[in-house]
Amino acid sequence: MAAQPANGQHEAQASAAAPTSGAHAGSYEFATEAIHGGQRVCPVTGAVFPPLYTSSTFAQQSPGVHQGYEYSRSHNPTRFAFERSYAVLEGTGLTEEQDTTRGAFAFASGLAAGACVLELLDAGSTVVCIDDVYGGTFRLLNRVRARTASLKIVRADLADDVAAEAAIVGAASNGSGAADSNGGAGVGSKVGLVWLETPTNPTLKLADIAKVAELAHKAGALLVVDNTFATPALTRPLQLGADIVLSSTTKYVAGHSDTGCGQRRTCGGRTRVGLRRALGAASRGTACGAWRVPPPAVGGVLATRHADVAERLRFLQNAVGSVMSPWDAYLTLRGAKTLHVRIQRHCENALELARRLEGAAAVARVVYPGLESHPQHALAARQMRLPDAGPGRRGADAAAFGGMISLTLKGGLAESRAFLEALRVFTLAESLGGVESLAEHPALMTHGSVPADERAKLGIDDGFVRLSVGIEHVEDLWADLEGALAAAAAAGKRAGAAAAAAREES
């Protein structure tokens, strides 16, 4: 395979066939950048939206002389179009002279993006990770890379400033202030990465990105922030000191649940995904119809503000090979153009529902960063903000807190099962961030790979439910939740009566 030309040479060779570059390079408001940032109009056809290039390979004029594209794993125009767009949204600040796609790299999934980040580390390095992390990330770190790369995983409550300092400084100084994933005290290797999610999945804790970045850099580590829940429309971690930002683009960035949902079965006019498997309950209603397979598009993306890190990630993206397909890139770029519009409705609906849920009799606890009861509400108001909320939305009103709500129902599995089975507008499904509302049971679904004792420490019990609030009419969503809460309360009464009867018999 011919060597990839340097960035400048790459652009010169591509100029004959590639569309001309637009002028949008971070000088406009977010809403404008979401639509135009990093995009190009084709000089041949005048196509406004980047075409879908499905070719696996590209003709060369002479051995090693090409027009900027050799092989789709290494270079694909559709993927490059999305990567340039995302680089602008996250505010990498890099130019195409510094990196072909301005420091953004698209992968086959969010976990594939995370796996590529870990390839930056030498074997035996230490990763300090927030304790409440997506179940797939936990599995990748603790059950895969701890074995295959001898990584030492230190899990700590990085949302707590004191605990964060103790963990990062302790790991860097080889002290006993941090415990590794196996419970051992002290870490005897270099801290390579500090890994944050903020807000976390699913307990919605927030970490102060700027403070953790300072601690990470003092320890000589890179800070990686999983920005899936907030998206660049609410938080730009690179501008707060993070070195790399990661996002599962399947979620809010693409935003339409046609990216990675897999197969879905329609039962009695509504969609049920994994209900029998996840909750052990028989499906009700009419018999299931045919399987419907949506367009397969799932993805993840990395972005960095450092040209040297971008160079390393570009090499690794090509070497590891888990790149986003052209079709995935096409759909994700399409979705990203409306991110700023969708995220505002997600936030508005979620805040209204969270306020109402706080007063519901069947609910023991509601966790949403926009509620004053959230322990980090002030941090959320400072760190999660609509970038250009428009006239009449300034100051505190520009704060926005995302579309995710976590709640704990009174009771346990019987109540949560009844609640989830009764939903009609919300769909019981894994994933999040689509235009439609989803509900799931983390202990049995997304976080099933996390050991039960670890889940218990985080408060992820049988009554814990995660809601991804969509952009439907808020009153329809509330009516759906009210009905489900009534079903949960009824299930609790039945369970209580059954328990009382059993006690009498004994």
Q: Which of 288, 314, 337 is the last residue of a domain?
A: 337
Domain assignment of residue 153, yes or no: no
What is the predicted pLDDT for the residue at 295?
52
Going by the DSSP 8-state scheme, the letter that residue 123 receives in this structure is: T
Tokens of 394: 């300034």
End-to-end alpha carbon distance in the chain: 76
Tokens of 289: 């119809």
Domain assignment of residue 77, yes or no: yes
Tokens of 148: 């295959």
Q: Give the whole-angstrom CA distance, residue 340 versus residue 37.
A: 13
If asked whether residues 329 and 449 sit together in one domain, one would say no
- Give burial (CB, 10 Å; 0-12/13-18/19+) of 333: buried
What is the predicted pLDDT for the residue at 367?
98
The residue count of the chain comes to 506
Going by the DSSP 8-state scheme, the letter that residue 142 receives in this structure is: I
If asked whether residues 350 and 332 sit together in one domain, one would say no
Domain assignment of residue 201, yes or no: no
If asked whether residues 328 and 351 sit together in one domain, one would say no
Q: Give the whole-angstrom CA distance, residue 260 versus residue 267.
A: 20
Which residues, 6 or more positions from 331, have their beta carbon under 8 angstroms from its beta carbon? Answer: 254, 256, 258, 259, 295, 297
What is the predicted pLDDT for the residue at 38?
92
Q: What is the pTM of this model?
A: 0.84
State whether the Cα torsion 250-253-256-258 is positive or negative: negative
If asked whether residues 356 and 400 sit together in one domain, one would say yes
What is the predicted pLDDT for the residue at 500?
75
Domain assignment of residue 43, yes or no: yes
If asked whether residues 389 and 412 sit together in one domain, one would say yes
Going by the DSSP 8-state scheme, the letter that residue 145 receives in this structure is: I
Domain assignment of residue 139, yes or no: no
If asked whether residues 19 and 31 sit together in one domain, one would say yes
- Is 418 in contact with 487 (CB distance < 8 Å)? yes
Q: pLDDT tens digit string along 297-344?
A: 689 999 999 999 999 999 999 999 999 999 999 999 999 999 999 999
If asked whether residues 329 and 446 sit together in one domain, one would say no
If asked whether residues 300 and 440 sit together in one domain, one would say no
φ, ψ for residue 250, nearest 5 deg: -55, -30
What is the predicted pLDDT for the residue at 88?
97
Look at the chain and report how many structural domains it folds into.
2
Domain assignment of residue 319, yes or no: yes
Where do the DSSP E strands lie in 454-493?
464-468
- Give burial (CB, 10 Å; 0-12/13-18/19+) of 29: exposed
Instruction: Match 């096409």 to its residue by tokens.
Output: 330
Domain assignment of residue 390, yes or no: yes
- Secondary structure class of 37 (helix, strand, coil): coil
Instruction: Count CB-CB contacts under 10 A for residue 383.
Output: 23
Helix count and strand count (H, E) for the chain: 16, 17
Which residues, 6 or more positions from 150, have their beta carbon under 8 angstroms from its beta carbon? Answer: 123, 124
Q: Which of 321, 337, 353 is the last residue of a domain?
A: 337
If asked whether residues 330 and 359 sit together in one domain, one would say no
Q: Which of 337, 365, 395 is the last residue of a domain?
A: 337
If asked whether residues 388 and 471 sit together in one domain, one would say yes
If asked whether residues 351 and 493 sit together in one domain, one would say yes
If asked whether residues 328 and 474 sit together in one domain, one would say no
C-alpha closest to that of 491 among 432, 414, 423, 420: 414
Q: Give the whole-angstrom CA distance, residue 260 versus residue 269.
A: 22
Which residues, 6 or more positions from 299, have their beta carbon under 8 angstroms from its beta carbon? Answer: 106, 107, 108, 109, 110, 248, 249, 250, 254, 259, 260, 324, 328, 329, 332
Q: What is the pLDDT along the chain (506 residues), one digit of tens a residue?
A: 333 333 333 333 333 333 333 333 457 899 999 999 998 888 888 999 999 999 888 888 889 888 888 878 989 999 999 999 999 999 999 999 999 999 999 999 999 999 999 999 999 999 999 999 888 999 999 999 999 999 999 999 999 999 999 999 999 986 433 444 433 333 346 899 999 999 999 999 999 999 999 999 999 999 999 999 999 999 999 999 999 999 999 999 999 887 443 333 334 444 444 443 444 433 333 334 443 444 556 899 999 999 999 999 999 999 999 999 999 999 999 999 999 999 999 999 999 999 999 999 999 999 999 999 999 999 999 999 997 655 555 544 588 999 999 999 999 999 999 999 999 999 999 899 999 999 999 989 878 777 888 888 888 899 999 999 999 999 999 999 999 999 999 998 988 777 777 777 77
Domain assignment of residue 155, yes or no: no
- Is 385 in contact with 399 (CB distance < 8 Å)? yes
Tokens of 139: 């599995």
| CATH number of the domain residue 490 falls in | 3.90.1150.10
Domain with 446 in it: 340-501
Exposure of 100 in the CB half-sphere (CA atoms within 13 A): 29
Return the bridge partners of 246, or none.
Answer: 226, 302
| CATH number of the domain residue 56 falls in | 3.40.640.10
